Structure 1
Amino acid sequence: MNVPTWVWLATVAGIVGLLVFDFYAHVRTPHEPTFRESAWWSTFYIALALLFGAGLLVVAGAGHGGEYFAGYVTEKSLSVDNLFVFLILITRFGVPRPYQQKVLLVGVAIALVLRGLFIWAGAAMIAQFSWVFYLFGLFLVYTAIKLAREEHQEQAPAEFHENRVLRLVRRVLPATDGYRGDRLTVVEAGRRLVTPMLIVMIAIGTTDLLFALDSIPAIFGLTREPYIVFTANAFALLGLRQLYFLIGGLLQRLVFLAQGLAFILAFIGVKLVLEALHTNQVWFINGGEHVGWAPEVPIWLSLSVILGTLAVATVASLVVTARGRRDVASRTQEQAVEQQAGVPVDRQPDGR
């Protein structure tokens, strides 16, 4: 897939334009978005991503179009996991609700720049060293096993460990002791100080890069085209701000999301290893020759597995949490009836 320079420049300009539009249309005036507003703009960005994919399908063919859709769905589903961390960060830094949109938008912009650099480096490595697919594949399988063993928590964990970039910012830049509206820096007592707004933006942008350590190799397992990798990542992140406000309450109900994402990462990891075997150049594997029996996983199968896994994980999560809530409500009602009847709720079997 040969993408001219002007197409790259036009794509980047379009993404920057969307971020600028988002800022001036919604974020510039601090407010807490309503459910209707979040739903409308979430739908808009998803529709925009699908429209771009349809255009790619027409221009570049079914193969590359399918790769984009598989990559977009994978990145979008993995970005939902990012929302848990965003929730932790915003809660820990105590960001006022009216200013959370600005924090998320600037954080996403920082994440896009860092991911772009990561994609460029990854594409350069793959172009020069095909054995990198072995590392990517094994890393994804390891990440999948680790993710599957994690227990879902009903409440977002209170702990957050600052990364090195954030620790460096705190040491180098003097900060105020609280928020100053939505200002990033202020001058107080003749000194330029940063506010917690700037620090939390940097925290979100740099922390997202940790998620890119598994999501970027995952999408490279679906396509080797840097343009598709970049656009799928960009469209997955663009609507993340609206998605945060739209499904914030739903996040705690997706109890099997981690297992679903783990299965997807493991599947793509195995796919990467098979592809690496198919194009093998490592001397100690089959004498540096291609492994003929290694099957190729078609993109339609990858897309089917990804969509099917997400559907099963979501439905199972909602069913289990709904049943759990009904059980809690039933026990609460029984206790209320017993209290009205004069029966102690905590009465032990021996009558004490």
Structure 2
Amino acid sequence: MDVSLTLWVLTIVGLCALIGADFFIGRKPHDVSIKEAGIWTVVWIVLAGLFGVGLLIWGGGQPAGEFFAGFITEKSLSVDNLFVFVLIMGKFAVPSQYQQRVLLVGVLIALVLRAIFIAAGAAIIASFSWVFYIFGAFLIWTAWKLIQEARADEPEEEYEENKLLKAAEKRFGVADRYHGTKLWIQQNGKKVMTPMLVVMLAIGTTDVLFALDSIPAIFGLTQDPYIVFTANAFALMGLRQLYFLIGGLLKKLVHLSYGLSVILGFIGVKLVLHALHENGVHVPEISIPFSLGVICAVLIVTTITSLIASKKQDAQEAQEAQEAAKGGADLPSGEPSQAKQLRTEDGPAKSERSKDDIEA
């Protein structure tokens, strides 16, 4: 798709206008309700849909299909980011009324860093077609790693600050508490960062790690930098509202890692086939409509199986809790559990025999 500089400028200006409207509407620190998060989530999805329709009208079916496939892929991969965002919010004890501001600025930092990644990726692909082999192999390896982590079923790890964040804290210092939405304050005659700025940087820089697999993934669906950038932008800008909307449901998506691993593995294979095709090897290439269908199907199946598994787990835990409560209710106050067990097994018969012995 041939994109002029004017269209690039108009797109960036339009996105900045949407981001500015989002910021000013929610500029006052407050607890985000489910209703508010739901409305804004729908708004960003509708805007992404309208943008895709615009591509369909002016660019044709190919760019529109690539955008929708890229947007859905990036959106599904960004949901995985939310698990880490929850850990970061807990690590820095961010007050609930400030979380929406933290996420907005953190996501903006992530978007800028991703734009740099996208520009670098586009330049590398334009110069070296063999990089598709590396991207494909990396995605397949990442898919396998996700499966291994999901099967390990390890307890949730605590968030650890990256080296860049530690260096910034050491260089500028950090205040001992939050000061509203201020990012810098004067403390002991020195300008230091507030925890608010630290957690924003944590959100933004941590997303770079996720970009290492999401950027190659979307380049596996389209090599058009314009589509790659806009798909990432729309996926990330709705992430803040999605955090508040499905925050309580994250733990119920128990099969999400499996679904994401299938998607990444599938795109990895697609990249390898594309690289072989570019090198003159006669192999079938995977079309965008087929890719879009596979991605949607995997996400639907993953969501359904996750909810079913979570429902069974909740029912089992409720049954165990009920049995434990029932067992505790049967135990008289102060009576040891061992004595209760003996009485339950042969208590009534033993009591009757003792009474007969006394009468005799």
The match for 1:340 is: 329
Distance 1:187 1:315, change over 3 A: same
User: 2:139 touches 2:267 (CA, 8 Å); kept in 1?
Assistant: yes
The alpha-carbon distance between structure 1 residues 11 and 152, as it changes in their structure 2 partners (threshold 3 A), is: farther
Q: Does structure 2 retain, via aligned residues, the 8 Å contact 1:92–1:158?
A: no
SS at match of 2:192: strand
Which residue of structure 2 lines up, in the alignment, with residue 198 of structure 1? 197
- Using the TM superposition, give the Cα deviation of residue 237 of structure 1 relative to its aligned residue in structure 2, in angstroms: 0.3
1:346 deviates by 6.7
Q: Which residue of 2 aligns with 1:298?
A: 287
Q: How many residues align?
A: 341
> Larger % of helix: which?
2
Question: Could you state the TM-score of these two structures normalised by the residue count of structure 1?
Answer: 0.92
Kindly indicate whether residue 308 of structure 2 is the aligned counterpart of residue 309 of structure 1.
no
Matches within 5 A, 1:16-27: 16-26=16-26
C-alpha distance 70-336 of structure 1, shift in aligned 2 (>3 A): same
Aligned to 1:253: 252
Aligned to 1:287: none
Q: Distance in 2 between matches of 1:47 and 1:277?
A: 37
Question: CA 1:318 to 1:25, structure 2 compared with 1: closer, same or farther past 3 Å?
Answer: same
Question: Residue 315 of structure 2 aligns with which residue?
Answer: 326
Give the match for residue 9 of structure 2. 9
CA distance in structure 1 between the aligned counterparts of 2:206 and 2:330, rounded to whole angstroms: 54
Tell me, in whole angstroms, the C-alpha distance in 2 between the residues paired with 1:201 and 1:93.
10
| Change in 2 beyond 3 A, CA 1:91/1:318 | same
Aligned-partner Cα distance in 2 for 1:152–1:15: 40
Q: What residue is the counterpart of 2:235 in the other structure?
A: 236
Change (3 A) 1:164 1:341: closer
Distance, in Å, in 1 between the alignment partners of 2:229 and 2:11 is 10
Secondary structure of the corresponding residue to residue 156 of structure 2: coil
- The residue type equivalent to 1:307 in the other structure is C
Verify the 8 A CA contact 1:153 1:252 in the aligned structure 2: no
* Aligned counterparts of 1:25 and 1:155: Cα–Cα separation in 2: 40
Q: Label 1:53 to 1:207 Cα distance change in 2 as closer, same or farther (>3 A).
A: same
The 8 Å contact of residues 338 and 345 in structure 1, kept in 2 or not, is answered as no
Larger radius of gyration between Structure 1 and Structure 2? 2
Q: Which amino acid is the alignment partner of residue 324 of structure 2?
A: Q
1:193, distance to aligned residue in structure 2 (A):
1.3
Structure 1 residue 66 displacement after superposition: 0.5
Of 163-172 and 320-329, more deviation after overlay is shown by 163-172
Quote the residue 1:123 is aligned against: 122
Q: Distance in 1 between matches of 2:152 and 2:13?
A: 40
- Work out the percentage of aligned pairs sharing the same amino acid: 52
**Deviation of the 1:84 alpha carbon:** 0.6
Letter in 2 for 1:94: A
Offset at residue 349 of structure 1 (A): 12
Cross-structure match for 2:44? 45
Helix, strand or coil at the partner of 2:17? helix
Counterpart-to-counterpart distance in 1, 2:196 and 2:14 = 27
- Equivalent residue runs for 1:45-124 within 5 Å: 45-124=44-123
Task: String of CA shifts for 1:300-323, please: whole Å, max 9, x gaps.
Answer: 110011000001111001001101
CA change 1:24–1:296 in 2 (3 A) is same
Question: Partners in 2 of 1:77 and 1:22 — Cα distance?
Answer: 22
Question: Which runs of 5 or more residues in structure 1 are unaligned?
Answer: 281-289
Residues 152 and 258, structure 1, Cα contact 8 Å, conserved in 2: no
1: CA distance, partners of 2:306 / 2:128? 41
Q: Describe the SS at the equivalent of 1:6.
A: helix
Q: TM-score, normalised by structure 2?
A: 0.90
Residue 117 to residue 152, structure 1, CA distance change in 2 (3 Å): same
Query: CA, structure 1 residues 39+152, in 2 after alignment: closer, same or farther (shift >3 Å)?
Result: farther
SS class of match (2:281): coil
Shift in Å, 1:345: 11
CA displacement, residues 77-110 of structure 1 (integer Å, 9 cap, x when unaligned): 0000000111111110111110011110000000
Offset at 1:20? 1.4
Asked if the contact 2:186–2:192 (Cα under 8 Å) also holds between the matched residues in 1, the reply is yes
CA distance in structure 2 between the aligned counterparts of 1:161 and 1:90, rounded to whole angstroms: 12
C-alpha distance in structure 2 between counterparts of 1:215 and 1:253, whole Å? 23
Instruction: Describe the superposition over 1:256-309 as per-residue Cα deviations: whole angstroms up to 9, x where unpaired.
Output: 0001000000000000000000002xxxxxxxxx101x1110111100110000
Aligned to 1:284: none
Residue segments in structure 2 that go unaligned for 5+ positions in a row: 344-360
Amino acid at match of 1:181: G
Preserved CA contact (<8 Å) 2:135 2:268:
yes
CA distance in 1, matches of 2:243, 2:188: 37
Distance across 1 between alignment mates of 2:173 and 2:322:
54
Residues 331, 337 of structure 2: 8 Å contact kept: no
* Partner secondary structure for residue 149 of structure 2: coil
Matches within 5 A, 1:218-237: 218-237=217-236
Q: Is the 8 A contact 1:83 1:244 kept in 2?
A: yes
